[in-house]
Structure 1
Amino acid sequence: MSKGQEIKARMGQMIERERDRSRIAMGAAAWKEHDEWVTQNIVASAKQWLTQLATEGRL
């Protein structure tokens, strides 16, 4: 597996864990209503974090 594939797989796992944490914290009804924007926010945050790591040369 290439470094890029490893990073992508790791980020996918981190995103899913954060979605699970959010779903539990919000409850089923709120999650059903807000799933889309919460997921978009999680993904955008992960991209920002990766960009910062890359800028700092830490990837």
Structure 2
Amino acid sequence: MSKGQLIKARVGQMIERERNRCLIAMGAAAWAVHDEWVTAYIVASAKEWLTQQAAEGRL
């Protein structure tokens, strides 16, 4: 597996863990209403984190 694939897999796992954390914290009913924007926010935050990590030479 290439370094890029490893990073993609790790970030995907991080996103999924955060989505699950939010689901548990919000409850199923609220999650059904807010899933789309919460997921978009999590993904945008992950992209921002990756950009920062790359700029600092950590990737």
TM-score, scaled relative to structure 1? 0.99
C-alpha RMSD of the superposition: 0.3
Percent pairwise identity: 80
Q: Distance in 2 between matches of 1:50 and 1:44?
A: 10
Runs (4+) of structure 1 moved beyond 2 Å? none
Query: In the alignment, which residue of structure 2 is the partner of 1:6?
Result: 6
Deviations 1:8-54 (A, max 9, x none): 00000000000000000000110000000000000000000000000
Unaligned runs of 5+ in 2: none
**Structure 1: 5+ residue stretches without partners:** none
Aligned length: 59
With normalisation by structure 2, the TM-score equals: 0.99
The one-letter amino acid paired with 1:3 is K
Report the residue type matching 1:19 in the other structure. Answer: R
